[in-house]
Amino acid sequence: MTLSIGVLGYRFMGKAHANALARLPMFFPDAPDVERSVLVGRNEEALESAADQLGFESTATDWADVVDEVDVFYNLGPNHVHAEPSIAALEAGTPVFCEKPLAPTLETAEEMAEAAAGAGVPAGCAFNYRFVPAIRYAKNLLEAGELGEIHHVRGRYLQDWLVDPEAPWSWRNDAELAGSGALGDLGSHTIDLVRFLVGDDDLAGEIERISGHLQTFVEERPVEGDDETRPVTVDDAYTAQAEFENGAVGTFEASRFASGHKNDHTIEIHGSDGSLRFSLERLNELEVLRDENRGYETILVTDEDDPYVDHWWPPGHVIGWEHTFVHENYEFLNAVETGDDFAPNFEDGLAAQRLLAAIEESDDRGEWVTLE
């Protein structure tokens, strides 16, 4: 059986997933057969050009004409268009893969998760960093108990693409369209990775309470190709501290104003028997501490018995950011074909959204927020 794929969105994430779909048969021969069937967008001229470049057979300007005609629907549009097309697809019985954060607001995320729960088909949320081989290696270490009792968790996601106050306004600067700024765009990745790595009851468990602070540094930005400016209604940076069920403490931050950091997503976990560190800017490496007297060792996670790596190159021949999307698509499409569960799913997206909302609430109230 060949799965027909319909994709809403053809820019950044559209390219990332189209590339992944094209690579699947080359490197994952046991993956389901797929065809890039329909590309959905608003601008017909740009859409036709993108479809030709990305290898799609046809185009459509209305997602409603697509969601019940394809075998799988990818919603890669801006945050404010995540809900309606995804819910419509799920109600039609079409599996959905949706970009993160799941929605601009907690209420909308709850509606999406409810639709997914009643659909009986896979509904995936695009937290692609779960599929970095080094992160899977770290997960295996943690599940094996090699770090002991977890005490400290640190996560930061730093970028610098908005440092210049003349950088143009985009939908990511608008609360109506994006929901939040660095918090949702970057912080959702950090929160999901932390939940994935230590959220099990045997490790740190879920976050019980959290406090947060949001900051906007530039209040308005110029509109590209125009003389006007538009207000920035989202955060440029956030910080948060958290307490986990087992008493472990966590600190999180993200910024689009961190000069010198292009895409620095760093996770540190410290336990009673060891520690680990990971940075997305060195995504083939994992730093692990097992013996305090000898310090950290750097593990190059490229051996054939490391997660996913047997599909790629010989040991030491590193992979990159785009490969995480190949792994993610491989797992999701296998779940579609077999009917198995897929994670991260819409429930995971909702769990992350609850924490994002709690951080915003804490900033508004100026106090800790307890998660129910």
Return d(Cα 182, Cα 193) in angstroms, integer: 16
Q: What CATH number does the domain containing 124 carry?
A: 3.40.50.720
Note whether 248 and 204 are within 8 A (CB): yes
pLDDT number for residue 236: 98
For the chain, how many structural domains are there in total?
2
92 shares its domain with 144: no
Name the pTM for this structure.
0.96
Helix or strand or coil: residue 288? strand
Does residue 291 surpass a pLDDT of 90?
Answer: no
Tokens read off for 365? 């109230």
Same domain flag for 171 and 262: yes
- The mean pLDDT of 306-317, rounded to a whole number, is 97
Is the residue at 370 inside a domain? no
> What pLDDT is recorded for position 225?
85
Q: Give me the CATH number covering residue 147.
A: 3.30.360.10
**Per-residue pLDDT tens over the stretch 137-162:** 999 999 999 999 999 999 999 999 99
Same domain, 103 and 139: no
Amino acid at residue number 138: A
Say whether both 214 and 180 belong to one domain: yes
CA distance 266 to 237: 16
- Hey, what are 134's tokens? 């080094």
Q: Are residues 229 and 296 in the same domain?
A: yes
**Pairing mode, if any, of strands 275-279 and 264-271?**
antiparallel
Over residues 30-55, mean pLDDT: 96
pLDDT tens per residue across span 163-206? 999 999 999 999 999 999 999 999 999 999 999 999 999 999 99
| Residues 113 and 73 reside in one and the same domain | yes
Q: Based on the domain organization, do 211 and 231 belong to the same domain?
A: yes
Q: How confident is the model at residue 294 (pLDDT cuts 50, 70, 90)?
A: confident
Give the residue from 74, 94, 128 where a domain finishes. Answer: 128
Q: Which of 82, 100, 128 is the last residue of a domain?
A: 128
Checking if the pLDDT of 293 tops 80, the result is no
Could you tell me if 311 and 162 lie in one domain?
A: yes
Question: Which pLDDT band, with edges at 50, 70 and 90, does 226 fall under?
Answer: confident
Dihedral angle at the C-alpha atoms of 197, 199, 202, 203, nearest 10 degrees? Answer: 60
**Domain match, 143 and 91 both:** no
Q: Is residue 304 part of a domain?
A: yes
Tokens for 237? 């940076």
Residues 78 and 42 reside in one and the same domain: yes
Give the residue from 70, 101, 128 where a domain finishes.
128
pLDDT, average across residues 217-240? 96
pLDDT of residue 319 exceeding 90, the answer is yes
Residue 326: inside a domain: no
Quick one: 114 and 206 in the same domain?
no
- Does some domain include residue 308? yes
- The reply to whether 334 falls in a domain is no
Q: Report, in this order, helix, strand and coil percent for the chain, each rounded to 5.
A: 35, 25, 40
Assigned domain for 372 exists:
no
Average pLDDT, the chain: 97
Given a cut of 80, is residue 49 above it in pLDDT?
yes
> What is the domain range of residue 246?
129-319+344-365
Instruction: Please give the pLDDT value at position 292.
Output: 74
Q: Are residues 48 and 136 in the same domain?
A: no
Within a domain: residue 109?
yes
Does the pLDDT of residue 326 top 90, yes or no?
Answer: yes
Q: Per DSSP, which regions of the chain are E strands?
A: 2-8, 33-40, 58-60, 72-75, 96-98, 123-125, 150-158, 207-215, 220-222, 229-231, 237-244, 249-255, 264-271, 275-279, 285-289, 297-300, 369-370
Is the separation of the CB atoms in 95 and 116 below 8 Å? no
Put residue 9 in one of left, alpha, beta given phi > 0 → left and psi -120 to 50 → alpha: left
**Residue 315 is assigned to a structural domain of this protein:** yes
Measured between alpha carbons, how far is 7 from 57 in angstroms, rounded to an integer? 11
